[in-house]
A and B are shown apart, each in its own frame.
Chain A
Amino acid sequence: MVMTATDLPSTEAAAAKPRRSPVGNAYAYLQALPMALIFGVFFLIPIALVVVVSFFDYQSFDILIPDFVTFNYTDVFSSEVTYRTYLQTLTFCLIVWAITLVLGFTIAHFLAFYITSLPLQIVCFLICTIPFWTSNVIRMVSWIPFLGRNGLVNQGLMGAGITDEPIEWLLYSEFAVILGYVHLYTLFMIVPIFNSMIRIDKSLIEAAKDQGATSWQILKNVVIPLSKPGIAIGSVFVLAIVMGDFITVTVLGGGQIASVAKTIQTELSYLQFPPAAANAVVLLGVSILMIFALLRIVDIRKEL
């Protein structure tokens, strides 16, 4: 490495561009190699394979016939079921996103601004992560005895005389699926938003107060704008997970509710790999578009 001592004022531009030698460059590539390998082997190649398979032909007893056909895609786009399923999944996305955003923002705000002692902050944070100490599936399954026909909620309601007969829509319904999602994924909202908020200089809040801002005005003009990167990252997590979920839909939807990923899973269980691959590619495309749109609104790179 060449060390240069200049008399230039240390402007950002000057500081950001150290001189590079060719040897230094080679080292840099070498250092990036392990990550590049992992990324290639476990991400790029599988995706390339899925794309390739999505153009394959298939028959009942010959599940992969190398070919270049497009009917897997035309099937996806010509089927009315596809659009209904996407509508359903996107609706889930929107509702779950809205609920986790409000919940996550509120909880993060409380943790970051109202709990001033660090130990207590850590304790509260651990409490938030408790659900993650057990597996995803167990957490979902545990809703069943709680929400079921003869579950705790219904028995409680009937015992209290609020209803005469069990409420049917508590379990195996859209409500149950949304509840499951919110339960599982709110933390993915809390953590990045909290992370953004904790980095807001407390003197900014004081400065806003000094300038006559009310609590709501501080929230709207200072806290929310400065939490945007966290909101964006949390949103990416929640949207990507809900878009790709089929377990929650299966366990808590009771087979009544469709989702794009569940369609893919069903096709896979019938060994229809090429249409499943085509569906997966379309799902990937839609998810990427959504995330792209989101990142157009908030430039995460700049904020990080």
Chain B
Amino acid sequence: MVATAQTLELVHLTKSYGDTLAVNAIDLKVPAGTYCCLLGPSGCGKTSTLRMIAGHEAVTAGDIILGTDNITDIPPAQRRTAMMFQNYALFPHLSCIDNVAFSLKMRGIAKAERHARAGKLLDLVQMAEYAKRRPNQLSGGQQQRVALARALVTEPSMLLLDEPLSALDPFLRVRMRAELKRLQTDLGISFIHVTHSQEEAMALADLVVVMNDGKIEQAGTARDVFGRPRTPFVARFIGGHNVVSGRVDAVREGILMSKVAGGHAAVSIAGAKPSAGETIAIAVRSDQIALRPASANDGAANDNEVTGTVASVQYQGAFVEVRVDAGEGEPLLVTVPDGVFDAAPFKEGDRAVLTWSVDHGHLLSGAA
């Protein structure tokens, strides 16, 4: 297989259906050979974006550049992209091998050769022994492998996957995830994978693109996005974060002091300098918060200190989820390793103090 990876660039890409903007002037650069996940809730525009890249949806405005070519208006088959559909879209009247060989047949390649080439791809996805079967005789996972082989037989520079794992059971999902990643590494081409599962995106992606409401909220590596969510939406969607809303007290030496429900929060700032009195949002990972019982001398020492009432305690195996109600806003989530929790257990109704180091709070852009 000779497939050359190419850079994909979206420039002010826009899609509107009547008055509703599905995709709102997004800009994105996906370097060649990247596993890129478009992540977001349903209706965020991720599938529209993918379908525009594939050429199955007309672009309202903006451009799609693949390599050096502007592919915005050319038909799907000439784009050097291939799409794997959410429901796999295998032709029910054709055997697996004929499904995989479909594009070769369309190009007028003789039967012997196209079956030989399709056979190689079925080998690649370990489906060679099912070559003669019809799609309805296969399990979901097997159908997906065939769909993958069919997409790859065109030797695309970029594979587009529309929620490829959503139809599989959880066990198979994790296995196919690993195989997708392996395949992408082996082939060296870019995969663009639409998903609403942050777990999937973090496990797979070199580049996670979090979308909401037709816009890109944040694009970066999984570590970037999880470690430094840019907006309250990203912090909430990616999970494992608390979004604390506060009012700016003072800014000194690059540290912003703020009042939050039940206490104070300090966060280091770079660049933008909010002024006193302004409302801000801070993200803190639930596993980077320390929990201790409330005592008499609270409320003075620590910059990052919130006092509240334990609202719920949930045992999760390796860790315990403690939710603390700080008075207003959503309860704060603290994940405590089970050993630590057992040493100093909490129960519902206990007063508790939450603390974290300044480095673990992140100022988010926009209010919570």
With contacts defined as CB atoms under 8 Å apart, how many contacts are there between chain A and chain B in the complex? 62
Known: A225-B93, A226-B92, A226-B93. A208 touches B102 (CB 8 A): yes
In the complex formed, the residue of B with least CB distance to A206 is: B56
B91 part of interface (Cβ distance < 8 Å)? yes
B77/A211 in contact, CB under 8 A: yes
In the complex formed, the residue of B with least CB distance to A212 is: B77
A213 to B151, CA, bound (A): 13
A95 to B322, CA, bound (A): 79
A206/B77 in contact, CB under 8 A: no
A209 to B78, CA, bound (A): 10
B106: chain A residues at CB < 8 Å are 208, 211-214, 217, 221
| Per-residue B-contact encoding for A220-233, CB less than 8 Å = 1, 0 else | 01100110000000
A210 part of interface (Cβ distance < 8 Å)? yes
B103 part of interface (Cβ distance < 8 Å)? yes
**A232 CB, nearest partner CB in chain B, Å:** 14
A211/B85 in contact, CB under 8 A: no
B89/A201 in contact, CB under 8 A: yes
B82 part of interface (Cβ distance < 8 Å)? yes
In the complex formed, the residue of A with least CB distance to B57 is: A206
A207/B85 in contact, CB under 8 A: yes
Which B70-106 residues have a C-beta within 8 angstroms of A?
A: 75-78, 82-83, 85-87, 89-93, 102-103, 105-106
B54 part of interface (Cβ distance < 8 Å)? yes
B77: chain A residues at CB < 8 Å are 209-213
A203: chain B residues at CB < 8 Å are 85-87, 89
B86: chain A residues at CB < 8 Å are 203
A210 to B151, CA, bound (A): 9
B93/A211 in contact, CB under 8 A: no
| Max chain A C-beta neighbours (<10 A), residue from B78, B82, B92 | B92
**B85 CB, nearest partner CB in chain A, Å:** 5
In the complex formed, the residue of B with least CB distance to A214 is: B106
B56: chain A residues at CB < 8 Å are 206, 209-210
**A193 CB, nearest partner CB in chain B, Å:** 16
B55: chain A residues at CB < 8 Å are 209-210
Known: A206-B56, A225-B93. A211 touches B87 (CB 8 A): no
Which B98-140 residues have a C-beta within 8 angstroms of A?
A: 102-103, 105-107
B103/A204 in contact, CB under 8 A: no
Which A169-220 residues have a C-beta within 8 angstroms of B?
A: 201, 203-204, 206-214, 217
In the complex formed, the residue of A with least CB distance to B51 is: A206
B150 part of interface (Cβ distance < 8 Å)? yes
| Max chain B C-beta neighbours (<10 A), residue from A204, A212, A214, A222 | A212
Known: A221-B105, A225-B93, A226-B93. A209 touches B87 (CB 8 A): no
In the complex formed, the residue of B with least CB distance to A224 is: B93
A214 to B76, CA, bound (A): 11
B184 part of interface (Cβ distance < 8 Å)? no
B102/A221 in contact, CB under 8 A: yes
B197 part of interface (Cβ distance < 8 Å)? no
In the complex formed, the residue of A with least CB distance to B151 is: A210
Partner of B75 from A204, A207, A208, A209 at Cβ < 8 Å: A209
B82/A210 in contact, CB under 8 A: yes
**A212 CB, nearest partner CB in chain B, Å:** 3
**A273 CB, nearest partner CB in chain B, Å:** 48
Partner of A210 from B54, B87, B92 at Cβ < 8 Å: B54
A226 to B135, CA, bound (A): 14
B54: chain A residues at CB < 8 Å are 210
In the complex formed, the residue of B with least CB distance to A203 is: B89
In the complex formed, the residue of A with least CB distance to B137 is: A12
B103/A212 in contact, CB under 8 A: yes
A222 to B87, CA, bound (A): 17
A217 to B150, CA, bound (A): 17
A217 to B76, CA, bound (A): 15
In the complex formed, the residue of B with least CB distance to A213 is: B106
**A65 CB, nearest partner CB in chain B, Å:** 56
In the complex formed, the residue of A with least CB distance to B98 is: A221
B154: chain A residues at CB < 8 Å are 211-212
In the complex formed, the residue of A with least CB distance to B77 is: A212
Partner of A209 from B76, B90, B150, B151 at Cβ < 8 Å: B76
In the complex formed, the residue of B with least CB distance to A9 is: B139
B82: chain A residues at CB < 8 Å are 210
A211: chain B residues at CB < 8 Å are 77, 102-103, 106, 150, 154
A201: chain B residues at CB < 8 Å are 87, 89
> Which residue numbers of A lie inside 8 Å of B, CB to CB?
201, 203-204, 206-214, 217, 221-222, 225-226
Can you give 29 A-B contacts (C-beta < 8 A)?
A201-B89, A203-B89, A204-B91, A206-B83, A206-B85, A206-B89, A207-B89, A207-B91, A208-B106, A209-B55, A209-B56, A209-B76, A210-B54, A210-B56, A210-B76, A210-B77, A210-B83, A210-B151, A211-B77, A211-B103, A211-B154, A212-B78, A212-B103, A212-B106, A213-B102, A213-B106, A225-B93, A226-B92, A226-B93
13 other A-B residue contacts (CB within 8 Å) besides A203-B85, A209-B77: A203-B86, A204-B89, A204-B91, A207-B85, A207-B89, A207-B91, A208-B106, A209-B76, A210-B77, A211-B103, A212-B77, A212-B107, A213-B106
